[in-house]
């Protein structure tokens, strides 16, 4: 397998959400029993090998369907576990084993290899799994460094370079990863089911006027600090599709930032969504929400606060579970 890196335009897979791929649909659960028969079936494809998979900023050539996949980032790991049998995945990040962080945690628990996320993984640690394909999202500098180091070591690497920030990019990423794993049919099934669920929500909310879309903020905890969520991940697309107006836009956020009392007061959200990535529930936000300066904020004054598992909003699931939960909370009469 020969990795190569060369600039070229991103290949856009347009129309996936509105018109889901019409490929044959097959079983796409990553939690089935690991058998040779299942692995062989999922590795098969009408497209011949070797094949070259292009991505924004490079390409990777694979001689055959990979059997020792290492995922450095939680989002690509979540997708891989939905597409192929766990026996083909050599290692996933520790974070994927947490029910608070990943919807695929049960499958992740069956995978022997475990490693830090792409931002912390050591090259030697990754190479010890003898990977024939490494998957990574180059969202952070450290993950980009890991990508470069894997290529220098001669390991085939597929990099996802977008922010997983919309339903379209989620489906694009599923399709690209599916082609690399020889699991196009499984990728089409995941994409179609996802698109249908997303469309069902947006269809139900199609007639909701702007004035009935409550201003909504989303907060999450990263490395022990509370962040006010902004553009750059799927969360803003989920809030919009769920029938909310974005409180983050009223204060001009261009990315997620550490939450300050003044920010929340200025944005004055009518609703607040709290993401729980630790299993500690709402209590981890008590210090902020009990601040005297926030008591006049509509969402706090009216206790219009919803706790959502970070797993439901995870990039590797496209945020679909969170979309359904938030939409039903904001517009209960429509669901």
Q: Is the per-residue pLDDT at 5 higher than 70?
A: no
Q: How far is CA 63 from CA 11, 59, 137, 171, 290, in A?
A: 21, 13, 22, 25, 58
- Provide the residue ranges of all domains of the chain, joining segments of one domain with +: 14-197, 208-334
Please determine, looking at this structure, whether the domain spanning 208-334 carries the CATH number 3.40.50.12780.
no
Q: Is the per-residue pLDDT at 45 higher than 80?
A: no
> Any bridge partners for residue 275, and if so which?
308
Closest CA to 282 of 214, 329, 226: 226
Mean pLDDT computed over 264-281: 97
Mean pLDDT computed over 73-94: 97
Confidence of residue 322 (pLDDT cuts 50, 70, 90): very high
Cα–Cα distance for residue pair 297/66, rounded to 1 Å: 52
Confidence of residue 140 (pLDDT cuts 50, 70, 90): low
Cα–Cα distance for residue pair 41/84, rounded to 1 Å: 9
The answer to whether 219 touches 226, Cβ cutoff 8 Å, is: yes
Strands 58-62 and 51-55: antiparallel
Mean pLDDT computed over 300-326: 98
The string over 262-283, giving b where at least 16 C-beta atoms fall within 10 Å of a residue's C-beta and e elsewhere, is: ebbbebebbbbbbbbbeeeeee
> Any bridge partners for residue 59, and if so which?
4, 54
Confidence of residue 148 (pLDDT cuts 50, 70, 90): confident
Mean pLDDT computed over 201-224: 96
Residues 69, 166, 160: CA angle, nearest 5 degrees: 30
Cα–Cα distance for residue pair 244/259, rounded to 1 Å: 20
Which pTM value belongs to this model?
Answer: 0.85
Q: Mark out the alpha helices in the chain (DSSP H runs).
A: 36-43, 74-83, 105-109, 123-127, 141-152, 167-181, 184-204, 234-241, 247-250, 261-267, 286-289, 298-301, 320-330
Q: For 246-256, how does the pLDDT look when each residue is reduced to its tens digit (9 = 90+)?
A: 999 999 999 99
What pLDDT score was predicted for residue 122? 80
Residues 326, 331, 335: CA angle, nearest 5 degrees: 85
Q: Give yes or no on whether 14-197 and 208-334 have one common fold.
A: yes
Q: Quick check: helix, strand or coil at residue 59?
A: strand
Q: Is the per-residue pLDDT at 34 higher than 50?
A: no
Cα–Cα distance for residue pair 196/278, rounded to 1 Å: 30
Work out the widest C-alpha separation in the chain, in whole angstroms.
64
Mean pLDDT computed over 235-241: 97
- Mean predicted lDDT score pLDDT of the chain: 87
Mean pLDDT computed over 312-329: 98
Cα–Cα distance for residue pair 174/83, rounded to 1 Å: 9
Q: Is the per-residue pLDDT at 46 higher than 80?
A: no
Q: For 109-138, how does the pLDDT look when each residue is reduced to its tens digit (9 = 90+)?
A: 999 999 976 556 788 889 999 999 999 998
Per mean pLDDT, which range of 24-28, 68-72, 182-186, 232-236 is the poorest? 24-28
What pLDDT score was predicted for residue 116? 79
Query: DSSP string covering 258-297, please?
Result: E--HHHHHHH--SEEEEEESSS-GGGGGHHHHT-GGGTTS
The CATH class for the domain spanning 14-197 reads: alpha beta
Confidence of residue 71 (pLDDT cuts 50, 70, 90): very high
Q: Is the per-residue pLDDT at 266 higher than 50?
A: yes
């Amino acid at each position: 397998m020969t990795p190569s890196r060369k600039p070229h335009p991103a290949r856009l897979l347009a129309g996936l959400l509105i018109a889901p791929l019409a490929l044959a649909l097959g079983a796409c659960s990553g939690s089935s029993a690991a058998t040779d028969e299942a692995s062989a079936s999922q590795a098969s494809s009408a497209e011949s090998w070797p094949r070259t998979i292009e991505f924004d900023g490079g390409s990777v050539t694979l001689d055959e369907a990979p059997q020792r996949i290492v995922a450095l980032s939680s989002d690509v790991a979540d997708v891989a576990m939905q597409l192929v049998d766990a026996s083909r995945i050599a290692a996933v990040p520790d974070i994927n084993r947490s029910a608070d962080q990943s919807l695929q945690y049960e499958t992740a628990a069956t995978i022997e290899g475990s490693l830090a996320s792409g931002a912390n993984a050591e090259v030697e640690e990754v190479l010890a799994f003898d990977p024939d394909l490494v998957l990574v999202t180059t969202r952070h500098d450290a993950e980009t460094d890991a990508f470069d180091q894997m290529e220098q070591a001669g390991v085939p690497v597929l990099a996802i370079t977008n922010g997983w920030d919309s339903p379209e990019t989620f489906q694009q990423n599923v399709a690209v990863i599916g082609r690399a794993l020889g699991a196009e049919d499984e990728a089409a099934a995941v994409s179609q089911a996802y698109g249908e669920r997303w469309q069902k929500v947006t269809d139900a909310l199609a007639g909701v006027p702007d004035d009935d879309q409550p201003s909504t903020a989303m907060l999450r905890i990263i490395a022990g600090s509370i962040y006010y969520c902004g553009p750059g991940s799927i969360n803003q697309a989920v809030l919009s599709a769920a029938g909310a107006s974005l409180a983050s836009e009223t204060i001009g956020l261009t990315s997620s930032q550490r939450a300050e009392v003044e920010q929340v007061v200025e944005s004055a959200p009518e609703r607040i969504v709290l993401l729980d990535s630790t299993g500690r529930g709402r209590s981890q936000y008590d210090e902020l929400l009990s601040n005297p300066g926030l008591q006049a904020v509509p969402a706090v004054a009216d206790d219009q606060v919803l706790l959502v598992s970070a797993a439901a909003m995870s990039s590797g699931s496209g945020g679909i579970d969170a979309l359904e939960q938030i939409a039903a909370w904001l517009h209960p009469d429509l669901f």
